[in-house]
A and B are shown apart, each in its own frame.
Chain A
């Protein structure tokens, strides 16, 4: 099984468009993710979280700065990676298993080995028995589990997740968060996790990078020192409350939240 890869980002900037209509969307930002670390990027919409993820994956051109994966500068799309988006992006004409086996077909991997890995992931992700169902026959939570299986079946050393649970209901979200944590504990892949949710960021991460918009920057780095696996109900943990409070305070200081404390 492949180990996690390290990520090193220095002076990374992204500008969309050019000339007078150019929009400076991101940066410069610097951060590191150690091999096997789980790091979240949290921030309001438009703070460049998704852009950061795409730049780290080598899927969008970098305007300035550099990204290094395992010490090597990134010059083309990273292939040793799995990506999960907010929408499951499953192909409606393939079964759950067929969607996962897409990786085998487009990456030209060994079929039997990939089938075995898919079977293992299906059982680990609670998808056993759903192999032959089409996406329209699955609930939203199961579709997203299939999407996670698709991102992991080729055993990448890095997992990039862009608000993967954003479209799910709160109950499903808690369960799938827990399942992801257990899977990560066993595999220790490097995870860059993008989220709006303070619960998810604290519940999953070794470190949380808090971002602010216009242009996107990293304003704070918060190591999360909580035992794993973390409880579903994080509120029981006094430490959790302190971390959450810290993030709320940062957002309030940035003017992202406006709490009306002066009301009687």
Chain B
């Protein structure tokens, strides 16, 4: 008995990891040097635009405060993100599996998704006052819709005939959900998460401007009060680092949970 031909295991181009990391770093360093040189040449005042040497020095001087407030902001991001992802997946599932839910909820979701949800921040302050809740709720809202749309698409992509297989097996709802539906939709859900998590850092910072005495957003206000532009840029570096680290964390989680994925 001979099976049909087997394709040889596909080989993927092996890029050297060192080069993959070193190359962008070199370009980045070149950009910073150019920035430094231009500012010195044009004698731009420090409070208008600081050179890298100034804000990197500030980054080191203020590392304790930056770390503390950076972690507080990250904490809010994680709470809000989780609070948005879980109901997003649940409602995405409902919309994909129920015609009634699709007809009634989906148009509404599409409409609300387009709203600039950040405008709700002042209202959330009225509702929840000087607490962490406005940050968490707004982050959850911003996360919820894209994750919902992507997970609905993921659940919808399942071939309906697979349900013939599960129904004839007498599979319970839970076993179908766990063994077929969740892993089928997972790549889509992860792509929604990866896009969203970077935005959530911005959302938390904006709400921190409004109501907080901690977090990176609060630190931004303090920096501007003191006309400390180098500190503002140091905060920018921290904020962007948080975004990058979180999006890599989502990537890593995806690699761990979905090892079959090919990229």
Contact = CB atoms under 8 A, between A and B. Distances in A.
Interface string A103-132: 101111000000000000000111100100
A54 B162 CA distance: 13
A155 B170 CA distance: 15
Interface string B150-168: 0000000001011011111
Q: By DSSP majority rule, is chain B's interface helix, strand, loop, or mixed?
A: loop
B179 A106 contact: yes
B90 interface: no
Contacts of A139: 3-7
A54 B171 contact: no
A198 interface: no
A184 interface: no
Interface residues of A, number: 44
A264 B262 CA distance: 58
Contact of B168 (A83, A126, A127): A83
A57 interface: yes
Given A106-B171, A137-B9, A142-B6, A89 B180 contact: no
Interface string B1-21: 111111101100000000000
Contacts of A136: 262
A38 B165 CA distance: 21
Nearest to B171: A106
B4 A140 contact: yes
Contacts of A182: 1
A87 interface: yes
Q: Which of A93, A140, A168 has most chain B Cβ within 10 Å?
A: A93
Nearest to A154: B169
Contacts of B6: 130, 138-139, 142
A140 B4 CA distance: 7
B189 to A, nearest CB: 13
Given A57-B168, A87-B159, A93-B186, 11 more contacts: A59-B164, A83-B164, A89-B165, A105-B175, A106-B169, A106-B172, A125-B1, A126-B1, A126-B3, A139-B7, A142-B4
By Cβ-Cβ distance, the 3 closest A-B pairs, closest first, are A141-B4, A106-B171, A126-B3
